[in-house]
A and B are shown apart, each in its own frame.
Chain A
Amino acid sequence: DAGVTQSPTHLIKTRGQQVTLRCSPISGHKSVSWYQQVLGQGPQFIFQYYEKEERGRGNFPDRFSARQFPNYSSELNVNALLLGDSALYLCASSPMGPTNEKLFFGSGTQLSVL
């Protein structure tokens, strides 16, 4: 079975640009979460979506937004990119509700902002 897939795997943008990252959850999983991981740190929670509704949001500015589609895939959008947005962006899915204990992570999208 396919795991969580994220695209693209790598991306280079310049300051001020906008970026869209995509995530396909494991088949049958209805919950998707997004995390940001800066080099040398643990992942930091950005958003969670369950059944196409936002269920949680971390301490990130409004430049970050996300949505979940009817097929449960998800997009993370970041506007007005800053150098500090350079990070590994991880998507995770889980089979049940928002508090399900097991998250299955993808390998991430490495975003570099120049």
Chain B
Amino acid sequence: DAKTTQPTSMDCAEGRAANLPCNHSTISGNEYVYWYRQIHSQGPQYIIHGLKNNETNEMASLIITEDRKSSTLILPHATLRDTAVYYCIVRGSGAGSYQLTFGKGTKLSVIP
């Protein structure tokens, strides 16, 4: 699976949009981009995933660049409960793609 690069930490004002970037320049054509987050003392929580098109669900939006070398997770109206470590993960879809390879993620702090 391709490696991802994320900023170590970010701050966001409560009520504003949080934009979390991720670089995955070695991503291959059949690899998906996944986002999970981990709130302190809990297990990771699935947020969203996509292949090449932009995706949106009730939690967030995922914007993937046309060349697929980077993506941005957008939390449209951040709340204090969104303070967490956010992990960007690239994962294949074929045999052997059963594991998630987590990096260190981005620690997002939502500030009142």
A residues lining the B interface (CB < 8 Å):
4, 33, 35, 40-45, 48, 50, 55-56, 58, 90, 92, 98-99, 101-108
Contacts and interface: CB of A to CB of B under 8 A. Distances in A.
Contacts of A43: 44, 100, 102
Interface of B: 32, 34, 36, 41-46, 49, 85, 87, 91, 93-105
Contact of A90 (B44, B101, B103, B104): B44
A76 to B, nearest CB: 14
Contacts of A104: 46
Contacts of A45: 99-101
Given A55-B98, A56-B99, A99 B93 contact: yes
B34 A107 contact: no
Contacts of A92: 43-44
A44 B43 contact: no
Contacts of B44: 43, 90, 92, 103, 105
A44 B32 contact: no
A106 B105 contact: no
Given A48-B98, A108-B43, 13 more contacts: A4-B43, A35-B100, A42-B85, A43-B100, A44-B102, A56-B96, A90-B44, A92-B44, A101-B49, A103-B100, A105-B43, A107-B41, A107-B43
Contacts of A108: 43
Given A101-B32, A101-B49, A42 B105 contact: yes
Nearest to B85: A42
A93 B55 CA distance: 23
